[in-house]
Amino acid sequence: MPAHDVIIIGAGLAGLTAACVLTESGRTVTVLEGSRYAGGRIRTVTDIATGRALADLGPTWVWPTYQPVVAAWLHRLRIATFPQYDDGDGILDGWGAGVERHLIPGQAGIARVVGGPGALIAALAARLPEGTVSTGRPVARVEEHDGATIGVGLASGETLRARFVILAVPLRVAASTVALPGLDPALMSAMRRTPTWMSSQAKAVALYDRPFWRAAGLSGRIASRNGPLGEAHDHTPHDEGVGAIFGFVGWSPSQRRADPPGLQRAIVAQLGRCLGQQGERPTALHIQDWATSPFVATAADIDELPEHPAVGPTILRTPQFDGRLLLAASETSHVSPGLIEGALAAGERAAQQVLAMSSG
Ligand SMILES: Cc1cc2nc3c(=O)[nH]c(=O)nc-3n(C[C@H](O)[C@H](O)[C@H](O)COP(=O)(O)OP(=O)(O)OC[C@H]3O[C@@H](n4cnc5c(N)ncnc54)[C@H](O)[C@@H]3O)c2cc1C
């Protein structure tokens, strides 16, 4: 079977960014995605009838003023942002006997993507030739085949060969689920040490007919010692067609796994306590537990306290296997590792490395 030009493993933001840059440079790309959908840690729930983005179950925020790579890609993909809603008082829950209204300052430059970060995934995927991305195809092995190609073994038993491979999979997931015989042990060790940002977290989004808290002078912001949501924010879509609140679940992965209905009840009760009776009546409650995804979280991520990845060692960005294997998850990035900005930068960098190797 003839070798592929470039195989990208992982259709998250980094993998799709690399695919887009390479395709636009005339390269032939195949993206193999292990799960059933593209986007990885980015998941935006949309309303089937209206197409409206309702809930970001992965990332929500970008900071285009401070993130030049994000700003450039938003411009290129013609995607707009809007400010995070922060007008009015926040709610402190668990600092006194009851809940208290309190001004909780917002962050400068914090913005949301119109259509949610899923709009980035959709826009990148739309730039690729049909059939570029194959989902439900987990990769189990990557190794040097001969001096000119890399072997990519799928969990199904099928083996493909490619001139270049970009491994755009969270580093710990790759180190623990993909056999990488012959890879530099120093790189393997760096991969195992690098936490996957937010992989142990769960996020909840409650939807309402409208953002009723705004009329009461509330920002939707909640800081809570009681939980289950440790912090919550207004998550109303840009067109304000519905109201929404999102929060990070403070329960541990094992507590969440032990009692999902109990978690739902406790979240709804908290929203009632903090936002008033209407808070107890969401029209929908979406909960995404990332710790349960084998494509995102490893045992090491779940056992450790969450830690934002620092910029990792240069070896994470150094081509391997004679320049034919590149790593590209967000956590490999030299800027904003772990964030959307990092994923875009890492995908771009890996693609440029392939182009440089091919011309050299
Ligand atoms: C709850 C949450 C909140 C966040 N909030 C923010 C935020 O507000 N702002 C921000 O900037 N960032 C945020 N992030 C981080 C942001 O989502 C990530 O930086 C970004 O999505 C990472 O993209 P990636 O392509 O590097 O990795 P991923 O999105 O993890 O993509 C990797 C892909 O590889 C696939 N894969 C894994 N193993 C295999 C295999 N063996 N074979 C084939 N495919 C495989 C996975 O299924 C996945 O699709 C958040 C993340 C989470 C989970």
Say how many Å lie between the CA of residue 12 and the centre of ligand 1: 6
User: What is the DSSP annotation of 342-358?
Assistant: HHHHHHHHHHHHHHHHH
Q: Where are the domains of the chain?
A: 1-42+117-196+295-360, 83-113+200-292
pTM: 0.98
pLDDT of res. 147: 80
Cα separation, 356 vs 360, whole angstroms:
6
State what percent of residues in the chain have pLDDT above 90. 91
Question: Which tops the pLDDT comparison, 82 or 307?
Answer: 82
Average pLDDT, the chain: 96
Q: Reply yes or no on whether the pLDDT at 360 is more than 70.
A: no
Measured in Å, residue 127 CA sits from the centre of ligand 1 at 20
Summarised one tens digit per residue, pLDDT across range 237-275 is 999 999 999 999 999 999 999 999 999 999 999 999 999
- Res. 307: pLDDT tops 80: no
In the chain, what percentage of residues exceed pLDDT 70? 100
How far is it, in rounded angstroms, from Cα 352 to Cα 311?
A: 20
* Averaged pLDDT for residues 45-65: 94
Which of ligand 1's atoms lies nearest the C-alpha of 70? 11
Bridge partners, 188 (sequence order): none
Looking at per-residue pLDDT, the higher value among 50 and 21 belongs to: 21
Ligand 1 atom closest to Cα of 342?
19
CATH number corresponding to 1-42+117-196+295-360: 3.50.50.60
The highest-level CATH class for domain 83-113+200-292 is alpha beta
Q: Place 51 in a pLDDT band, splitting at 50, 70 and 90.
A: confident
- For residue 63, the ligand 1 atom closest to its alpha carbon is 11
Q: Where are the alpha helices (DSSP H) in the chain?
A: 13-24, 68-76, 118-126, 171-177, 185-193, 212-215, 253-258, 260-275, 299-303, 340-359
Q: What is the pLDDT of residue 290?
A: 97
List pLDDT tens digits, range 81-118.
999 999 999 999 999 888 999 998 888 899 999 999 99
Atom of ligand 1 nearest to the CA of 290: 53
Residue 36 pLDDT exceeds 80? yes
Overall average pLDDT of the 152-178 stretch: 98
What pLDDT is recorded for position 24?
A: 98
> Is there a cis peptide before residue 83, judged by omega within 30 degrees of 0?
no
Nearest CA owner, ligand 1 atom 48: 40
Residue with CA at minimum distance from ligand 1 atom 3: 59
173 Cα–ligand 1 center, Å: 11
359, pLDDT greater than 80: no
- The pLDDT score that the predictor gives to residue 303 is 80
Whole-number Å distance between alpha carbons of 263 and 260: 5
Question: Residues lining ligand 1, CB < 6 A?
Answer: 9-15, 32-35, 40-42, 58-62, 138-139, 168-170, 173, 177-178, 197-198, 201, 203, 290, 295-296, 329-330, 338-340, 342-343
CA distance readout (Å), 113 to 66, 162, 287: 15, 35, 20
1-42+117-196+295-360 and 83-113+200-292, same CATH topology = no
For residue 213, the 8-state DSSP code is H
For residue 103, the CA-to-ligand 1 centroid distance in Å is 33
- Terminal C-alpha separation, the chain: 26
* Confidence check: pLDDT of 211 > 80: yes
Q: Is 114 helix (H, G, I), strand (E, B) or coil?
A: coil
Residue 306 has pLDDT above 80, yes or no: no
Cα dist. 204→71, 263, 276, 284 in Å? Answer: 27, 10, 18, 10
Q: Which residue has the higher pLDDT, 302 or 232?
A: 232
> Are the CB atoms for 319 and 64 separated by under 8 Å?
no
Instruction: Calculate how far, in angstroms, residue 296's C-alpha sits from the geometric centre of ligand 1.
Output: 7
